[in-house]
Amino acid sequence: MQCRLAFCLLAMTSLGSSAFPQDSPGAQPRLPGAQPRLRLLKTISRQEGDARFAFASVDSAARRLYVARGFGVTAVDLDGEHVNRQLVPGDHVHMVIALPGGRALSTNGDANTATLFDASSGEVIAQLDTGKDPDAATYDPVSGLVFVMGHQEGDITLIDPREARVAGRLAVGGRLESAVADGHGRLFVNVRDLNQMAVIDTLAGRVLRRNDLPGCEGPTGMAGDVETGILVVACANRVAVGLRASDGSVLAPRLPIDRKADAVMFDPVRRNFYIPCGRDGTLIVISESKEGGLAVQSSVATAVGAHTGALDPQTGRLYLPTADFHLTLGGIAPTDGTFRVLVLGFEP
């Protein structure tokens, strides 16, 4: 889930974690059979200037979308669509997550720090040292800690957001990517270069086991269904893998997806896993049956470059940040003035 944007795009034109998500209040019951069509509804938050972006998340309590940017954190009001371009400054921000008590945390990849801030005002509470190149971050409700994955050195920084302090470090090894907490004291972490998933005891602060991910080369994004204990992992070799969180056994070994998939989102109402694939400009929809089976349901056109995203559990809408890209001497870079957020939703 490395947030560098120098990935190989063949096309240059346009056509985002916490415990497993819970059903939102007032959510409609899950219905079997055919679903309404998912489509692009609109584009919001077009901005001039620096177009760099990384991962997105939704703060359900504050009704906000956060987007990690090269210069800080962009916040979008989900109901009125008001945009605060830089709620919090940062240094190549990789991820932003909402926390209990009206706080939030962002990871600064170039500064090797995490910023703890007031989610409403953006006031910085603390700058905390992390491992080298902090990437993904996940809040664990059992321990009350934030786990920040160090992408370069294979360690996890444990942060106590209530006391605004670093609570320790945990050596895991490998290049750490997405992580998911199950709300029962376990954290599941993708280890990209080893093609594994490490399982962490969040209270004891130790690695419980390591599960190989057969057929998965370069695991990146991951999401889970808390009710069934099913995890879906996106892989760099154009497949996704479904497995059981309880023992790591594989349920679906080779679900076809497209290229440059860095995030997976789970919709607890429709029981869909969504995987945005940035190089091909598609969103792959994987449905979970009542029996726990997984199958690719559809592929929805998005935009080349849209490789992350976030789900609003209240409305079921998906928010995918993207930009146009161009060739530079150093590789591929986002074109200034082209940042925007795609909004996808289901037809009535």
CA gap 168, 177 in Å, rounded: 19
CATH code for the domain defined by 52-174: 2.130.10.10
Q: Do 52-174 and 213-326 show the same overall fold? A: no
Q: Class for domain 213-326, per CATH? A: mainly beta
Residue 347's pLDDT band (boundaries 50, 70, 90)? confident
> Which pLDDT does position 265 carry in this prediction?
98
* Domain spans, the chain: 52-174, 213-326
Contact 151, 176 (CB under 8 A): yes
> Which pLDDT does position 10 carry in this prediction?
32
| pTM for the full predicted model | 0.90
Q: In what side-by-side order are the strands of the sheet with 83-89? A: 53-59, 64-69, 72-77, 83-89
Please report where in the chains the tokens 């609003």 appear, as a residue.
312
Per-residue pLDDT tens over the stretch 275-334: 999 999 999 999 999 888 999 999 999 999 999 999 999 999 999 999 999 988 878 889
> Which pLDDT does position 97 carry in this prediction?
98
Q: Is the pLDDT of residue 197 over 60?
A: yes
Q: Phi-psi region for residue 307, left (φ > 0), alpha (ψ -120 to 50) or beta?
A: alpha
Per-residue pLDDT tens over the stretch 19-69: 444 333 333 333 345 567 899 999 998 999 999 999 999 999 999 999 999
Reduced to 3 states (helix: H, G, I; strand: E, B; else coil), residue 101 is helix
> Which pLDDT does position 34 carry in this prediction?
58
Per-residue pLDDT tens over the stretch 133-160: 999 999 999 999 999 999 889 999 999 9
Per-residue pLDDT tens over the stretch 230-271: 999 999 999 999 999 999 999 999 999 999 999 999 999 999
For residues 179-203, give the mean pLDDT.
Answer: 97
Q: Is the pLDDT of residue 126 over 90?
A: yes
Q: Is the pLDDT of residue 176 over 70?
A: yes
Q: Is the pLDDT of residue 4 over 80?
A: no
Cα-only R_g, the chain: 18
Give the torsion through C-alpha atoms of 229, 230, 235, 240, to 10 deg.
180
Q: What is the 3-state secondary structure (H, E, C) of the chain?
A: CCCCCCCCCCCCCCCCCCECCCCCCCCCCCCCCCCCCEEEEEEEEEECCCCCEEEEEEECCCCEEEEEECCEEEEEECCCCCEEEEEEECCCEEEEEEEHHHEEEEEECCCCEEEEEECCCCCEEEEEECCCCEEEEEEECCCCEEEEEECCCCEEEEEECCCCEEEEEEECCCCEEEEEECCCCEEEEEEHHHCEEEEEECCCCEEEEEEECCCCCCEEEEEEECCCCEEEEEECCCEEEEEECCCCCEEEEEEECCCCECCCEEECCCCEEEEEECCCCEEEEEEECCCCCEEEEEEEECCCCCCCCEECCCCCCEEEEECCEEEECCEEEECCCCEEEEEEEECC
> Which pLDDT does position 328 carry in this prediction?
86
**Residue 278, CA distances (Å) to 3, 7, 180 in order:** 12, 9, 22
For residues 108-129, give the mean pLDDT.
Answer: 97
CA gap 38, 287 in Å, rounded: 13
Exposure on the CB side of residue 208, measured as CA atoms within 13 A: 16
Contact 235, 216 (CB under 8 A): yes
